Amino acid sequence: MADKKFTMHVDVDAFLPATDEEKAYMVQMRPSSTFFKDGVKRLLKNKVATVSFILIILITLTAIILPMFWPYSYDAQLGIQPGKPVDASFANLKPMEYGRSELKRIEDGEKVFPHLFGTDSAGRDYFIRIVYGTRISLAVGFFASIIVLIIGMTVGAISGYCGGKVDLVIMRIVDIIYSLPDMLMVILLSSVLGTVLTPLIEGTVLAKIGSNIISLFIVFAVLYWVSMSRLIRGQILSLREQEYVLAARAAGASGSWIIRKHLIPNCISVVIISTALQIPNAIFTESYLSFLGLGVNAPMPSLGSLASDALNGITSYPYRLVIPAVVISLIVLSLNLFGDGLRDAFDPKLNA
């Protein structure tokens, strides 16, 4: 072979089958990574988002687990015990102070669990009320976002998928709801729904949740799905026209295959991100309404209603306002920062 080399200017060796060594060279050195793994990796690199995520997890776990074994409950008025006169010494305790009967028990050598943040004007342990209020606020935010997600996704997908007249009608409705001033409508609806719902749900499981929270959910279901459905409609419309969808169709892929393998995976990051950003929004709205007295039903606490109650005794007990204020701000801030981190990590396209 070597003697023919001067006539042909092509290196014949180049056409020999590759040796194992050469094949090994072509093999990718790092293991292949999925989109999800890539995103998580990017997310973990973002320190702010990671810290916020840890904070959210900590707050959530505290809110769920702590009330289970805390010696006090959120609605027990410590000064009122069956068969005894009301012990007023339990009301408005400063942090780490004890009521009169508790002091006696301590003198007797018993151990009494301290009231970390004191008690409120009705003699209820304030620390557990804060924890419980956090739980309510988080739950409302989470479920409201899920409701918004389900309705928004369904309507958006129908609108984007069907197109034509259906799309036109849905989008006009969306336009109008979108231009309604949301807070005013929320206040109006929840002020009325509260009175309408109370007799309806009496005696059912729903009564435990309280008419105000249910009306809050209804309000979210009615008003807040529009931006989500707009987003999903836009996604579906643009994804439908992508070349790879056309390629898949040309290769004989069925409609359900295209939806499952192409449309949903490409939509899902946007959906998750906007749901994550919806949660602080819902918590914000809930606390705002609770502050105006339209939120959770007493004696159930939420961070907003705790802040609102604290306004009455603000001169003597300012910490009662500061604590829920700090917790709300912390939750909203960390959820927002985490949502931003999610967006940066999972949607490189948005991050132009």
Partner 1 sequence: MNTKTLVYIFKRILLAILTVWVVITVTFFVMRAVPGGPFMSEKAITPAAQAALEAKYGLDKPLMQQYFTYLRDIVTKMDFGPSLKQRGRDVIDIIADGMKTSAKLGVIAAFSALGAGLVLGAVAALRRNKLIDKVIMVITTAFVSMPSFIMGSLLLVIFAIKMRVLPANGSTGAGLVLPIITLALYPMAYITRLTRSSMLDVLGQDYIRTARAKGVSGPRIIFGHALKNSLIPVITYFGPMLAYIVTGSLVVEQIFAVSGIGRAFINSITNRDYPLIMGTTIILAALIVILNLVSDILYKAVDPRITLE
Q: Given the rule CB under 8 A, which residues bind partner 1?
A: 175-176, 179-181, 183-185, 187-189, 191-192, 195-196, 199, 280, 284, 287-288, 291-294, 304, 307-308, 310-311, 314-315, 318, 321-322, 325, 328-329, 332-333, 336
Q: At what angle do helices 225-240 and 126-162 cross, to 10 degrees?
A: 40
CB of 215 to partner 1, least distance (A): 11
In terms of CB distance, is 67 or 234 closer to partner 1? 234
In terms of CB distance, is 229 or 334 closer to partner 1? 334
CB of 283 to partner 1, least distance (A): 9
DSSP 271-287: HHHHHHHHHHHHHHHHH
CB of 304 to partner 1, least distance (A): 8
Which runs of consecutive H residues, i.e. helices, occur in the chain? 20-26, 35-45, 47-69, 100-107, 126-162, 164-179, 182-201, 206-209, 211-223, 225-240, 243-250, 255-258, 264-291, 303-310, 319-346
In terms of CB distance, is 162 or 333 closer to partner 1? 333
* Cβ proximity of 309 and 13 under 8 Å: no
CB of 210 to partner 1, least distance (A): 18
In terms of CB distance, is 22 or 175 closer to partner 1? 175
CB of 110 to partner 1, least distance (A): 37
DSSP 130-162: HHHHHHHHHHHHHHHHHHHHHHHHHHHHHHHHH
| Residue 17: both structure tokens together | 């089958």
CB of 310 to partner 1, least distance (A): 8
DSSP 87-145: -GGGTTPPTT---HHHHHHHHTT------TT-B-TTS-BHHHHHHHHHHHHHHHHHHHH
CB of 198 to partner 1, least distance (A): 9
In terms of CB distance, is 256 or 315 closer to partner 1? 315
* Cβ proximity of 298 and 121 under 8 Å: no
In terms of CB distance, is 12 or 192 closer to partner 1? 192
In terms of CB distance, is 119 or 308 closer to partner 1? 308
In terms of CB distance, is 148 or 327 closer to partner 1? 327
The C-alpha atoms of residue 195 and residue 166 are separated, in whole angstroms, by: 35
Closest CA to 131 of 287, 274, 323: 323
| Residue 270: both structure tokens together | 């946007």
CB of 93 to partner 1, least distance (A): 20
